[in-house]
Amino acid sequence: MEYQNTLTTCIYCGCGCSMYVETIDGRITGVWPDKTNQISGGRLCIKGWNVTGFVGHPDRLKNPLLRKEGKLVEVTWDEALSQVAEKLSGIKRESGADSIGLMTSAKCTNEENYLMNKFARAVLGTNNIDHCARL
């Protein structure tokens, strides 16, 4: 049996509490507050205690989906990504990069947001990128 405790940061609000996520044999078994964290000081709110509650939900998407004849069906990454790449480059070629928009995410990491910003600007060539800070 392999037991692990990994320190990470809460996904819910902007307080920035950190917590240990406990796993046994790669399965999440618990959440423990981090005593040394300046914000939480060894405590969590009810959302924090339940922060991994949705992770193993059966509704999680496990494969890319592509709309075929009106329905979303499971496809491989290869098929999904070539479809996206083809469509985006086609639209860019026909109507210019500014006919594409991107919404990045306040739930994703800094690194992921940075990459979306780089993708929008450097790869597609548009400043049409925003997220829900206003919402």
Partner 1 sequence: MTNSIPELETDSRCILIMGSNTSEGHPLIASRIVKAKERGARVIVIDPRDIQIARLADMYIPFRPGADVAVLNGLMNVIISEGLEDKEFIAARTEAYAEMKAVVEKYTPERVQEISGVPADMLREAARLYARNKPAAIVYAMGITQHTTGVDNVKSIANLAMLTGNLGIAGAGVNPLRGQNNVQGACDMGGLPNVYPGYQAVTSPDAQKKFQDAWGGTADTVVGLTVMEMVNGVGDGTLRALYVMGENPMVADPDLHHARHCLEKAEFLVVQDIFLTETAQLAHVVLPGGAFVEKDGTFTGTDRRVQRVRKVVNPPGNAMADWEITCRLAQRLGAGGFDFASPKEVMEEIARLTPSYGGISYERLEELGFLHWPCPAADHPGTPYLHKGKFSRGQGQFHAVEFKEPAESPDQDYPLTLTTGRLMFHFHTGSMTRRSEKLHQEVPEAYVEIHPDDAARISFKRGQRVRVHSRRGQIELDVRVTKRIKPGVVFIPFHFAEAAANVLTHAAIDPTAKIPEYKVCAVKMETIGVKEAKSQGPS
Q: Which residues of the chain form contacts with ligand SF4 (CB under 6 A)? A: 10, 12-13, 15-17, 40, 44-45, 47-48
Write the CB contacts of 112 (distance below 8 Å, at least 6 apart in sequence): 104, 105
Q: Which of residues 60-119 bind partner 1 (CB under 8 A)?
A: 60-67, 72, 76-77, 80-85, 87-89, 91, 95, 97-119
Does 1 engage in binding with partner 1 (CB under 8 A)? Answer: no
- Interacting partner of 123 out of ligand SF4, partner 1, none (Cβ under 5 to 8 A depending on kind): partner 1
* Cβ count within 10 A of residue 48: 19
CA 101/CA 66 separation, integer angstroms: 20
Q: Which residues pair with 73 in a beta bridge?
A: 66
Residue showing the smallest CB distance to ligand SF4 in the complex: 48
